[in-house]
């Protein structure tokens, strides 16, 4: 008891510190550690290479290995890399500098395969002002894409909220912003052309470069613009641009009474509008984001801290430590106080948007050029080509904790968690929200952890013609929460999160973001895409041997009857399965497989008291 009381004293004393961390929206930090590479090879042995995602944790807790790695700098080198692998019958995968996807999309099919990194493949950025397009190499960061377009007075309307993703990566996973007007918020909807390297017979040199446009090859185009990386290696992407415009942003915190009716009208009224739901506190933070003319006064910028602003190692580790301590003692009151503090501070402080980079936030609306408002980042801006100072940081560890990093840097004990984004058809959102509220009302405090980062993020995405895209307009429900450091330790309130997520997928026809976590929830959801059958036909045409596929992507697409669910003892504790038996949970720690409390078809691991 004395130890617990001491821990609680630490919690209370750290309350103000953590609240401050959550409210810092812009930090000017000069010292910086280069983000760790997504591919590391052991040059001193024959152990090959290891592939990492940005958190350093794959969903199944296993590692990803490759026999060798290639770092092409130009298209001819990319073609040669693919040809060499095809000739030797090796599996192939392509990965970006930071590998910002959580599922095993980039893991090579076996330990002897070839991983191709686009780290150095980022030299081409060409804007065609007459055609209003921009063509870029696969490894070009999207921040550089929108900045280059802006220099010519042009804009890419849709982008992810974090700008540290690459051109090839962002379209391959269906990543998006928010909005259902015009072409919508998915970045791949603005692609007009692709250059790809695909396997070829020996008579054609084992690899060939192809150009795909909607006008010339509509079927192949609809498969290639959102492909999960299973069709070949993207060499270059051409995006459609528009004349530059500004965005006007205003935040307001309101009661969530009637959210189920309000949200549909809201996303139809505001072109880029989105919301953050705080269900435990019965509140929702609305972001009214609209297009305005460039002549409207305003020099606003987006500096949202949750989306990749630099933080120090100490701050990242402190935040992770406090949340883990709360998790271990299960202090719902403290956690809910923390989430409420962050929630109440967002709108009055600008929620990370500044009217001016120097003057800061002075009031709503915040108005600024599209490329400065639509996405943010910064923690990744330190050149990946810079040689790290071994006295400060290396690819494996950081020695100077004053260095600035991305808060999710795998080298520090910061925030490592789940990021589950589920898309629910707009036509069924009203019912879904009502059911979530019913689950919430049983124990509101159980949902406070979902609020600590930013609440349940709700964005809209328009229906698509891409074969793996959405077959109708959808609203996202994004859940972010810590994962247990020890895979055998049951996650606090996991049963509540799992019931909600299973309900959204099974009852309301939900699908998942291809590049975010979800584990077993992905099972069978590809059948709800626009046209899985036609996508598989395109895949057969472009990579009949499946060299660019692995077990995960085969399971995701249901190839040869494969699935993504893994049934084994304890599998439900790490989202590898939906429990059927108690052994799938942690019966030795008092967690058993039980039905949902509201959605009775759910099967979750719950502690019996």
Pairing relation of β-strands 68-70 and 114-117? parallel
Residue 112 makes CB contacts below 8 A (sequence gap 6+) with: 48, 66, 67, 90, 91
Taking the C-alpha atoms of residue 512 and residue 456, their distance in angstroms, rounded to an integer, is 15
Domains within the chain, CATH numbers bracketed:
39-117 (3.30.43)
The predicted structure's pLDDT at residue 7:
39
Residue 125 makes CB contacts below 8 A (sequence gap 6+) with: 134, 135, 136, 137, 140, 144, 145, 148
Residue 299 makes CB contacts below 8 A (sequence gap 6+) with: 355, 356, 357, 368
Taking the C-alpha atoms of residue 332 and residue 486, their distance in angstroms, rounded to an integer, is 21
Range list of H helices, 126-209: 142-151, 167-172
The predicted structure's pLDDT at residue 44:
73
Q: How far is CA 404 from the centre of its chain?
A: 21
Range list of H helices, 207-312: 218-224, 259-269
Q: What are the distances in angstroms from CA 599 to CA 415, 424, 431, 507, 595?
A: 30, 16, 13, 9, 8
Q: Is 20 helix (H, G, I), strand (E, B) or coil?
A: helix
Range list of H helices, 531-590: 532-542, 551-557
The predicted structure's pLDDT at residue 316:
86
Please name which of 55, 42, 16 lies closest in space to residue 413, comparing C-alpha atoms. Answer: 55
459's tokens: 């964005």
Q: Is 130 helix (H, G, I), strand (E, B) or coil?
A: coil
Instruction: Give me the residues of the chain with pLDDT under 50, please.
Output: 1-30, 383-385
Residues making up the chain, counted from first to last: 609
Taking the C-alpha atoms of residue 317 and residue 412, their distance in angstroms, rounded to an integer, is 7
Q: Say if CB 288 and CB 178 are below 8 A apart.
A: no
The predicted structure's pLDDT at residue 241:
99
Residue 58 makes CB contacts below 8 A (sequence gap 6+) with: 64, 102, 103, 104, 107
The predicted structure's pLDDT at residue 23:
42
Q: How far is CA 519 from the centre of its chain?
A: 14
The predicted structure's pLDDT at residue 2:
40
Instruction: Check whether the bond before 365 is cis (ω within 30° of 0).
Output: yes
Query: E strand or H helix at 238, and its extent?
Result: strand 233-240
Query: E strand or H helix at 460, and its extent?
Result: strand 460-461
For 126-148, letters b (16+ CB in 10 Å) and e give: ebeeeebbbbbbbbbbbbebbeb
Taking the C-alpha atoms of residue 79 and residue 204, their distance in angstroms, rounded to an integer, is 12
- Considering only CA atoms, give the Rg of the chain: 23
The predicted structure's pLDDT at residue 81:
99
The predicted structure's pLDDT at residue 21:
41
Please name which of 76, 115, 118, 112 lies closest in space to residue 97, comparing C-alpha atoms. Answer: 118
Query: E strand or H helix at 289, and its extent?
Result: strand 283-292
Taking the C-alpha atoms of residue 450 and residue 255, their distance in angstroms, rounded to an integer, is 17
The predicted structure's pLDDT at residue 388:
53
C-alpha dihedral, 586 to 590 to 592 to 596, nearest 10°: -120
């Amino acid at each position: 008891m004395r130890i617990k009381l001491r821990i609680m004293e630490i919690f209370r004393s750290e309350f103000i510190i953590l609240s401050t961390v959550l409210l810092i929206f812009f930090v000017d930090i000069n010292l910086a550690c280069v983000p760790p590479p997504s591919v590391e090879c052991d040059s001193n042995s024959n152990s090959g290479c290891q592939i990492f995602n940005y958190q350093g944790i794959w969903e199944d807790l296993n590692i990803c290995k490759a026999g060798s790695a290639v770092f092409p700098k130009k298209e001819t080198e990319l073609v040669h890399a693919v040809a060499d692998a095809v000739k030797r019958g090796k599996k192939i995968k392509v990965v970006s500098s930071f590998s910002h996807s959580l599922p095993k999309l980039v893991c090579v099919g076996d330990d002897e395969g070839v991983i191709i990194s686009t780290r150095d493949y980022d030299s081409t950025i060409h804007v065609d002002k007459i055609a209003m397009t921009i063509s870029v190499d696969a490894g070009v960061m999207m921040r550089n894409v929108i900045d280059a377009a802006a220099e010519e007075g042009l804009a890419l309307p849709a982008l992810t909220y974090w700008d540290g993703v690459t051109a090839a990566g962002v379209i391959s996973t269906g990543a998006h912003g928010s909005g259902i007007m015009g072409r919508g918020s998915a970045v791949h909807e603005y692609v007009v052309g692709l250059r790809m390297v695909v396997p070829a017979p020996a008579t054609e040199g084992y690899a060939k470069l192809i150009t795909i446009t909607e006008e010339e090859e509509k079927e192949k185009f609809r498969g290639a613009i959102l492909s999960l990386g299973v069709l070949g290696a993207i060499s270059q992407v051409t995006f459609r641009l528009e004349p530059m415009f500004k965005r006007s942003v205003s935040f307001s915190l309101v009661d969530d009474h009637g959210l189920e009716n309000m949200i549909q009208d809201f996303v139809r009224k505001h072109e880029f509008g989105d919301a953050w739901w705080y269900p435990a506190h019965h509140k929702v933070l609305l972001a009214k984001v609209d297009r305005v003319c460039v002549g409207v006064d305003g020099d606003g910028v987006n500096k949202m801290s949750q989306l990749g602003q630099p933080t120090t190692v100490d701050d990242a580790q402190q935040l992770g430590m406090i949340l883990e301590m709360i998790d271990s003692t299960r202090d719902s009151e403290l956690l809910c106080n923390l989430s409420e503090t962050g929630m109440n501070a967002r709108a009055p402080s600008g929620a990370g948007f500044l009217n001016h980079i120097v003057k800061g936030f002075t009031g709503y609306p915040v108005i600024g050029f599209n490329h400065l408002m639509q996405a943010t980042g910064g923690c990744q801006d330190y050149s990946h080509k810079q040689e790290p100072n071994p006295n400060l940081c290396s690819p494996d560890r950081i020695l100077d904790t004053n260095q600035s990093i991305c808060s999710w840097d795998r080298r520090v004990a910061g925030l490592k968690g789940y990021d589950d984004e589920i898309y629910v058809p707009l036509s069924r959102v009203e019912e879904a929200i009502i059911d979530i509220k019913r689950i919430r009302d049983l124990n509101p405090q159980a949902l406070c952890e979902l609020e600590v980062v930013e609440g349940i993020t709700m964005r809209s995405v328009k229906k698509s013609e891409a074969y793996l895209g959405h077959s109708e307009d959808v609203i996202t429900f994004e859940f972010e929460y810590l994962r247990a450091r020890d895979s055998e330790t049951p996650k606090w309130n996991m049963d509540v999160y799992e019931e909600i997520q299973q309900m959204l997928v099974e009852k309301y026809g939900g699908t998942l973001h291809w590049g975010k976590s979800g584990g077993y929830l992905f099972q069978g959801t590809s059948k709800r895409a626009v046209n899985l059958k036609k996508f598989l036909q395109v895949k057969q045409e472009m990579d009949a041997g499946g060299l660019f596929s692995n077990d995960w992507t085969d399971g995701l697409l249901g190839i040869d009857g494969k699935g993504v669910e893994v049934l084994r003892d304890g599998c439900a504790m790490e989202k590898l399965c939906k429990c059927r038996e108690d052994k799938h949970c942690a019966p030795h720690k008092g967690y058993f497989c039980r039905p949902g409390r509201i959605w009775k078809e759910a099967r979750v691991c719950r502690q019996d008291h």
